[in-house]
Structure 1
Amino acid sequence: MSKKERAPIRMCVGCRERKKKEELVRFTRGPAKGPEDFLYLSEKRSLPGRGFYLCPTLKCFRMAQKKKQVGRILGSHGSPISVETMLAR
């Protein structure tokens, strides 16, 4: 019997669907330099630090913002991180 290779599965914080890691976009928290946390798009999905995965759709970005998931996951108690801020970085 041959072993099947399993792809890593991650959950989108917006829609809460489980998908293959390659299908999602990962954001990582960087050092805070003010009231907001800096988010970095982890293109290779390998940046260290606190992070989360989202589907690459505006719908999931908005759902994550509405549910305040990003602040909860990153542990930020300051002002909420807006979708526009996330997309600008």
Structure 2
Amino acid sequence: MISGSQRDAAVVRTCVGCRRRAPASELLRVVVRRSEGSDNRLIPDPQRRLSGRGAHVHHSSNCLEQAVRKRAFARALRIEGAVDVAAVRTLVESESAERPTPAHEAGRDRMKTTR
């Protein structure tokens, strides 16, 4: 029988920011909570337990900013209107000091090739 941690390791999701695939355990799940106003508020779901459609993003401010710039959250969550990412941004920025640089960003400077 497969345990919960083994099952989570096998689940692969795509980051809406950089579009790279990664194990779900390496990504932050985000869900939307509709407010009475026109804004849809994104809620971080680190335990992946909240109900509703989710989108995934790396724990990186670069990936978060790419997702915001490309309006990827609205597309992935199938919502219309403005999206408030303040709660997700706060969590990602607080984690950035604790987490090492994500593997997909670590070698960017070394990726330049000369011919």
Q: Which has more radius of gyration?
A: 2
Identity of aligned residues (%): 30
Q: Distance in 1 between matches of 2:40 and 2:85?
A: 13
Corresponding residue for residue 87 of structure 1: 89
**More contact order relative to length (CA 8 Å, sep ≥ 6):** 1
Structure 2, unmatched stretches of 5+, are: 1-5, 92-115
Q: Which has the higher helix share?
A: 2
Partner of 2:56: helix, strand, or coil?
strand
Corresponding residue for residue 22 of structure 1: 25
Corresponding residue for residue 108 of structure 2: none
1:26-64 CA-partner distances (Å, limit 9, x unpaired):
011123321111221112112110210000000000110
Equivalent residues of 2:28, 2:45 under 8 A apart: yes
TM-score normalised according to structure 2 size: 0.64
Partner of 1:38: helix, strand, or coil?
strand
Q: Distance in 1 between matches of 2:41 and 2:85?
A: 12
* 1:66 partnered with 2:74: no
Match for 1:40: what amino acid?
I
Equivalent residues of 1:11, 1:53 under 8 A apart: yes
Change (3 A) 1:40 1:84: closer
Quote the RMSD (CA, aligned, Å).
Answer: 2.2
Match for 1:27: what amino acid?
V
Match of 1:53 among 37, 45, 56: 56
Runs of 4+ in structure 1 over 6 Å off:
none
TM-score normalised according to structure 1 size: 0.80
How many residue pairs are counted as aligned between the two chains?
A: 85
Q: Distance in 2 between matches of 1:35 and 1:61?
A: 22
